[in-house]
Amino acid sequence: MILPAFAALPLLLSYAGSTTILVPRPIRRLLGDDSDLLELGWIYYLYMFLMVIFCSNSINIHAGINGLEAGQSAVIAAAIVLLNVTTIVATGTYEEADPSIRSLSMPEAIQRANMLMKTLGSKSSVALKAVKQAERLIAQNDAGMQMHEAHIFSLCLSAPFLAVTLALMAHNWYPSKVFVGDTFTYFAGMSLGVAGILGHFSETLVLFFLPQIVNFLYSSPQLFKIVHCPRHRLPKLDTETGLLHPSKATETHYNMNLVNLFLRILGPQTERTLCMALLTLQAVCCMAGFGVRIVLSGKWK
């Protein structure tokens, strides 16, 4: 817990971005507030701090078999790269207006507002409405430009990370010739967390990290010493069959992590097959993250 906390400090000290978030539409309706934005200030920094610590440790504790650490990192990184590329393409010529003036471009909306102000006067409700619409369009366009730049920055982090992780997987895949250990898992979690935070899609990043979240929650009784937790919670290898079996923390309790849970559900597996099953779950969760974004687009924010 301590090492990632210190490693997160440069991110917090160098962060010069906004600490303002877009309030979800359902919450706006509940609050009855017309404001779309909420300034979080130091709370946003605390959120970034905790997010980076979680990402670093979540990769580290969802591990233990050949290819899993590098594999899950590569799948998440590929999802982040795809998200960045699609968003950069979509926001390359960003210009989205209020539904009532959607047919107007930003210069046209500004020109329309200026003409109405000159013709009808500054007290005209029609002119004031046009000015408000133009201002909203300018704000939306600025937000689109900021999103575009944030995703370019995130892509500059995630694309090289994906490339080197795929190269690492060639040596870490079963039968592994390279042991990644904490050196890679902390670096991987930190890189993915920073790419999501500075890319301003931390909510989607949470969806990409669903297996890690489930693994953390399921492991919590052992991690917080409510249930006995041995130093290593690796599955047991049957040397005669070459199959992995779930390991036990005590005579009556199995070790509580996704690796052992999958073995309890699917039965004994080879290490390669078990890794493929866990990475399939990772890929499905990443695809579900894209699905949730599409479904909630325009409805959540």
DSSP string, 226-240: SS---S--PPEEETT
Distance CA 260, CA 248 (A): 9
- Residue position matching structure tokens 């926001």: 91
Give me the number of domains the chain comprises. 1
Residue 251 lies in a domain: no
Element (H, E) at 113: helix 106-120
What's the confidence (pLDDT) of residue 39?
Answer: 78
Residue 38 lies in a domain: yes
Which is higher by pLDDT, 121 or 223? 223
Domain that holds residue 146: 2-208+270-296
Residue 240 lies in a domain: no
Work out the mean pLDDT of the chain and round it to a whole number: 83
Instruction: Give bridge partners of residue 38 from the DSSP assignment.
Output: 21
Distance CA 57, CA 187 (A): 10
Q: Where are the beta strands (DSSP E) in the chain?
A: 20-22, 37-39, 236-238, 243-245
Residue 200 lies in a domain: yes
Q: Out of 36-40, 57-61, 87-91, 174-178, pick the least confident.
A: 36-40
pLDDT grade, residue 108 (50/70/90)? low
Distance CA 37, CA 27 (A): 11
Residue 158 lies in a domain: yes
Residue 265 lies in a domain: no
- Measuring CA to CA, which residue among 168, 252, 262 is closest to residue 218? 262
Residue 108 lies in a domain: yes
- pTM given for the model: 0.80
Residue 230 lies in a domain: no
